[in-house]
Amino acid sequence: MGNIAELLDLSEDNLLQLIGVVYASSEKMPGLSVHEHLRMAGFLWFRQHWESLYFRICRRWKYCENQQAIQQRPLTEQLAMISEIITELFEDTRVPAAVVATLLVKRGLEQFCDCAHTSSLMERREQIKRYIALPKTVNLDVFFVSTLSPENTG
C-alpha cells in the first residue's frame, strides 16, 4: 500500500477490504460479491483484534487523556503515530498497521476509546459490533464458519 495520505482517500469499506484481502480465505461465501466477502473478512479481523487495539491505543497510550494534543497534529502525523503504536501487534500478520490506524481514525477514536466513559468493558464488546456496521443481510455466524480458513482464525 502507498503512503498514509493515500489511505485517507479510501472509504471505510475499501479499508476493510484491504484487511480482508489478507485475512479472508480464498473461498467466497455464496451470495456475497467479492467486495462484500472482503469487507466482511476485514470486519471479522477487526472484531477479533479490537480488544488488543483498545488496550494499546486507549489504555496504554491514553488516547482520551491526550486527545486534544493529538488532534492538534496534522492527520497524517496522527496516523503515523497510531500506526507506530499498533505495529508490534501485527508483526506476525500481513495486515498493515497504517490501514488499521486509518480505519480507526476515520471511524472516530473518541467513539472507539469511549472517551465519554459511558460503557464498561463488557458493554464495549457489544458496542464494537456496531462500530463498523455490517450489511444487514449477512449472517455473521454462517459467514465465519463458511469462509475463514482455520489458519486465519487462530
pLDDT per residue rounded down to tens, the chain (154 residues):
457 888 999 999 899 999 998 877 666 667 788 888 888 888 888 888 888 999 999 999 999 999 999 999 999 999 999 999 999 888 777 889 999 999 999 988 988 888 887 666 667 666 666 555 554 444 444 433 333 333 433 3
What pLDDT score was predicted for residue 152? 38
What pLDDT score was predicted for residue 35? 86
Tell which residue, 125, 154, 142, has the closest CA to residue 28.
142
Whether residue 153 lies inside any domain: the answer is: no
What pLDDT score was predicted for residue 138? 45
For residue 54, the one-letter residue type is Y
Query: DSSP secondary-structure letter at 154?
Result: -
Whether residue 140 lies inside any domain: the answer is: yes
Whether residue 152 lies inside any domain: the answer is: no
What pLDDT score was predicted for residue 114? 84
What pLDDT score was predicted for residue 9? 92
What pLDDT score was predicted for residue 46? 86
Whether residue 154 lies inside any domain: the answer is: no
Cα separation of 101 and 86, whole Å?
Answer: 8
Please classify residue 39 by burial: count the beta carbons closer than 10 Å to its beta carbon, then call 0-12 exposed, 13-18 middle and 19+ buried: buried
CA angle 130, 4, 87 (to 5 degrees): 70
What's the structural domain count of the chain?
A: 1
What pLDDT score was predicted for residue 100? 94
Q: What residues make up the domain containing 44?
A: 4-147
Whether residue 67 lies inside any domain: the answer is: yes
Would you give the end-to-end CA distance of the chain in angstroms?
25
What pLDDT score was predicted for residue 153? 38
DSSP codes, 61-72: S-HHHHHHHHHT
